[in-house]
Amino acid sequence: MNGTGKFPALLVLLSFFSCNRSNFTADLSDTPTSGNLKISVDASYQPLMDSEVNTFTSLYSLARIEVAYKPEADVINDLLNDSVKVAIANKKLSDEQEKYLNSRKCFPRTTKIAVDAIAFLVNKENPDTLLLLSQLKEILTGNISTWNKLNAKNKLDSIRIVFDNNSSGNTRFLKDKFLGDKNFPPNCYAVKTNPEVISYVQDHKNALGIIGVNWISDSDDEAANNFRKNIKVAALKNDTSSQNQEYYQPFQAYIALNQYPLTRDVYLINRESRHGLGTGFASFVAGDKGQRIVRLAGLLPATMPIRIVKVE
């Protein structure tokens, strides 16, 4: 009888520490600049976060950060089940997800760290590199399924829409934007990664590839430059806007000027309950050095102003 009476108090104690059990048992080496940290990142931001992590760990030699690049849905799940303390994605937690974490005494902090864009890629032999936003919607809903419906002079036939992953942030963003409760049409295909989308477009004349622009936005990155050599980046025009806009590609200046129509915020979500390495890394990415890395990666920093020089 006395033994069972102790269980309720023990359960309350375990519940209180369930949010941050690893920190409860961590040693004193876990500080904002030292220790071990696992983070999950939407694969669209691998080029950026490779640079952020490499710079941070070179500055703080006692810090070890293990990064897992995954589809957005898996990134959020990792955060919810306490597999990681930090996640990076282009969406905030939903109210339901926030309530779930709060019920476990977790109060995650969400920080906007960048603005990026969805990029649309076509094969180098495809003459159509200009798309109205209304045309893009017709393509994604299946109402336009051939290139010659966009342009009678285009000899290409069926449009093959290629995403990186069924559970990616790119897929979710466009579904929310254009489809609502509807599904993508039968001519949509998913590979596994953003680089695989680029390779597919390179090899298939009728493909329309969809990736996060970070994979092609850094003009100083050899891999990004090689990717751009082998494909064309489509320019979009928001024909539903009251302004007389031109066609714009998904690059930094046009993101900064709100001229490219399909941009999104990038968030760092930290569920760490103490000031450990997760908090230190979050502060770095949102701070001056981290934001400079965002700018150099070709994305729009959340806090650092961008100087736009117009050449006549």
Q: How far is it, in rounded angstroms, from Cα 206 to Cα 122?
A: 8
At 308 the pLDDT is 58
pTM of the model: 0.87
At 312 the pLDDT is 46
Q: How far is it, in rounded angstroms, from Cα 283 to Cα 267?
A: 13
% helix, strand, coil for the chain, step of 5? 40, 20, 40
Q: How far is it, in rounded angstroms, from Cα 62 to Cα 66?
A: 13
At 11 the pLDDT is 36
High-pLDDT (> 70) share of the chain, %: 87
At 266 the pLDDT is 98
Q: How far is it, in rounded angstroms, from Cα 178 to Cα 166?
A: 16
At 305 the pLDDT is 64
| CB contact at 8 A, 154 and 148 | yes
Q: How far is it, in rounded angstroms, from Cα 273 to Cα 85?
A: 9
At 186 the pLDDT is 95
At 65 the pLDDT is 98
Using alpha carbons, select from 120, 118, 117 the residue that is nearest to residue 231: 120
CB-based contacts of 134: which residues, under 8 Å, 6+ apart? Answer: 239, 240
Low-confidence stretches of the chain (pLDDT beneath 70):
1-28, 241-244, 305-312
- Sign of the C-alpha dihedral, residues 73, 265, 42, 121? positive
Q: Are strands 63-70 and 188-190 parallel, antiparallel or unpaired?
A: unpaired
